[in-house]
Amino acid sequence: MKVTGNGGYVMQSWFDVYNFDIENREEDAVGLAGAADWLNAFVDREVEEFGIPPERVIVGGLSQGGAVVCRALVGSERRLGGAFMLCSYVPLRRRVLEMKTPFASQIPLFWGHGIMDAQVTFPLALRSAKQLALDLETTFLRTSHPLTPESLQEDFKRQSEGTGKSSNSSAAGKATLRFCYYGDLGHWFSEEEISDLAVWMNGILGNGRYKEVGGVGEAEGEEEGEAGMDVDDG
């Protein structure tokens, strides 16, 4: 698509980018909504056509893809298993309160970010993550590497105690936003970050039950039919 901030030249993009001042720029609300709708429709198909429980679905993305995931999470009509954002930001962050659904506060979020990120600066990412947790009424936790299975147990306990009868109920327990940071990482990902993400995903898909394998928690008793989807920066 033609990207305004790139002089109108065609490039791969999920939505139009008017300029590259992430903190202060006007945003393409229509394009973001369209990209989020596409992602939600994909999840709907996985659930309805293939019978995958929504709580077994994790969506995630890198940079611009993470922004799409965030927009989809805020407006989600299902309680998904989780969502993750890597070196990303909160799009339309001043409109989260008006856009959020009851399910948005029930979806665990992993946000990985490098302190050396020059495109989405660390201070902006940290402020945005804290504000997102506040707006969604979720628990904010800032964590350095390594993320351990044991550190996740309270997350799942807290959420399960408030969940009630159904995982799709709008009265389900509040989730946790895990903000994990990495000292020498720029606008990309690292082995340490992917390792932490794997621990977090295993905790969700394995219902928090672990055995240690090679230093990384492996979930016990995982069910068949789990689905995960990455939305990358393209």
What is the residue whose two structure tokens read 């201070």? 123
Q: What is the pLDDT of residue 10?
A: 65
Task: Please give the DSSP secondary-structure letter assigned to residue 1.
Answer: -
Rounded-to-integer distance, Cα 206 and Cα 145, Å: 21
Q: What is the mean pLDDT of residues 87-102?
A: 96
pLDDT tens digit sequence for 206-220: 854 333 333 443 333
- Whether the pLDDT of residue 159 is over 90: the answer is no
Report phi then psi at 55, rounded to 5. -75, -5
Instruction: Look at strands 216-219 and 227-231 and give their pairing.
Output: unpaired
- Whether the pLDDT of residue 9 is over 60: the answer is no
Q: What is the pLDDT of residue 153?
A: 77
Q: What is the pLDDT of residue 1?
A: 76
Instruction: Give 94-100 contacts, CB < 8 A, sequence gap 24+.
Output: 95/29, 96/131, 96/132, 96/135, 96/136, 97/135, 99/74, 99/75, 100/74, 100/75, 100/135, 100/136
Burial class (CB in 10 A: 0-12, 13-18, 19+), 204: buried
Q: What is the pLDDT of residue 211?
A: 38
pLDDT tens digit sequence for 28-63: 899 999 999 999 999 999 999 999 999 999 999 999
Q: Which residues contact 80 (CB under 8 A, 6 or more apart)?
A: 43, 54, 55, 57, 58, 59, 73, 103, 107
Tell me the three state secondary structure of residue 143.
Answer: strand
Instruction: Find out whether 142 and 173 touch, Cβ atoms under 8 Å.
Output: no
3-state secondary structure 50-116: HCCCHHHEEEEEECHHHHHHHHHHHCCCCCCCEEEEECCCCCCHHHHHHHCCHHHHHCCEEEEEECC
Q: Which of 10-14, 139-143, 168-172 has the highest mean pLDDT?
A: 139-143
Q: Domain 29-231 is of which CATH architecture?
A: 3-Layer(aba) Sandwich (3.40)
Q: What is the pLDDT of residue 160?
A: 65
Higher confidence at residue 162 or residue 143?
Answer: 143
